[in-house]
């Protein structure tokens, strides 16, 4: 049962449709999973990496946030972009990244893989060096 509270009337309680119950439960599970991942991120347990979804001889990748122990094509926390390494007719590769979410996960402590680090460098999100290997000025 869900109750809708309105300041001018009595609470209106009615049973939610089963689909809505499932959607609410999924949203709650997802938010709990992301909160747990944020705690892991500070310990190096969350990675920003690629998941291959292309077919044979035509690679296409998603840029995802995942637990470092999950499989390459396994569960992930959030999809933050995609990367098509095959150049189009003009010779450009398709790279789209959600900069806000990438910066958030980097600030929380997520570690990008080497390939993702290079992609993010080309997009201007981060330096080509990890914080440990940044050259001294």
Q: How many CB atoms lie within 10 A of CB 132?
A: 5
pTM: 0.64
Per-residue pLDDT of the chain (137 residues; tens, 9 = 90+): 555 555 555 555 555 555 556 666 666 666 656 666 665 655 567 899 999 998 999 999 999 999 888 887 788 889 999 999 998 889 888 889 999 999 988 888 889 999 999 999 888 887 766 554 344 44
Measured on CA atoms in the order 126, 61, 80, 74, is the torsion positive or negative? negative
pLDDT at 41: 58
DSSP-assigned beta bridge partners for residue 58: 55
pLDDT at 136: 47
The span from the CA of 83 to the CA of 99, in Å, is 14
pLDDT at 54: 86
B/e letters for 14-38, b = 16+ CB within 10 Å, e = fewer, are: eeeeeeeeeeeeeeeeeeeeeeebb
pLDDT at 108: 87
pLDDT at 122: 86
Could you give all domains of the chain from N- to C-terminal order, each with its CATH number? 47-123 (3.30.1320.10)
pLDDT at 50: 92
On whether the CB atoms of residues 80 and 97 are closer than 8 A, the answer is: yes
pLDDT at 15: 57
The span from the CA of 105 to the CA of 94, in Å, is 22
Give all strands (DSSP E) within the chain, no chain letters: 2-4, 12-14, 46-52, 61-67, 78-84, 94-97, 111-112
């Amino acid at each position: 049962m869900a109750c809708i509270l309105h300041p001018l009337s009595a609470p209106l309680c009615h049973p939610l449709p089963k689909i809505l119950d499932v959607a609410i439960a999924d949203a709650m599970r997802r938010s709990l999973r992301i909160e747990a991942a944020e705690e892991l991120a500070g310990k190096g347990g969350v990675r920003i990496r690629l998941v291959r979804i292309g077919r044979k001889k035509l690679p296409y990748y998603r840029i995802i946030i995942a637990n470092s122990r999950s499989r390459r094509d396994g569960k992930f926390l959030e999809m933050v972009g995609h990367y098509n390494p095959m150049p189009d007719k003009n010779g450009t590769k398709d790279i789209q990244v959600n900069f806000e979410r990438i910066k958030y996960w980097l600030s929380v402590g997520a570690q990008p893989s080497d390939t993702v680090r290079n992609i993010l460098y080309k997009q201007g999100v981060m330096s080509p060096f990890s914080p440990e290997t940044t050259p001294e000025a």
